[in-house]
Amino acid sequence: MVSKRWLDLLGLTFWVALTFGVAAFGSQFEPGDWYAHIAKPAWTPPGWVFGPVWGLLYLLMGVSAWLVWRQRFRTSVSLPLGFYIVQLAVNGLWSWIFFGSQRIGLALIDLTVLVIVVAITAAMFWRVNRRAGYMLLPYLLWISFAAVLNFQIWQMN
């Protein structure tokens, strides 16, 4: 029989690995020469910022999903975790749309949907486990900033 501690560790590993799997998918689509040469606002963060920020955000996201998953015997977590999976899919599509397909306007639509789904997910997570909901707030702020940046790039190009 598997102990509760091992099951928790397996659950944490699963949720963090799943979340970083989306990061791995997105990393296939690098900015490249196209992005280097398009017009961007002066307040665009330097490229080196994105890796550490996203690394921390993906870790927080995975841990928050795990905290909700741990409550599965106390309350229903299917809907909140379902929304989490949906937001992961929408998140993963952005890099493909923006960098891979170079469709700035469509990427903006994707980001708008992402902001909405993450806000709903954070609210649902908060109802199950407040720490889990709070852990999604930096992600929500970052993608909101990214949506504004994406909009400006779309306007400039």
pLDDT at 4: 87
Residue 46: strand, helix, or coil: coil
In the predicted model, what is the mean pLDDT of residues 82-111? 97
pLDDT tens for 88-100 read: 999 999 999 999 9
Distance (Å, whole) CA 79 – CA 86 = 10
In the predicted model, what is the mean pLDDT of residues 41-64? 97
Which domain, by its residues, includes 25? 4-156
Whole-Å CA distances, 20 to 1, 36, 65, 67, 155: 29, 26, 12, 17, 31
pLDDT at 3: 85
- State what percent of residues in the chain have pLDDT above 70: 99
Residue 20: CATH number of its domain: 1.20.1260.100
The total number of structural domains that make up the chain: 1
Label residue 1 by pLDDT band (50, 70, 90): low
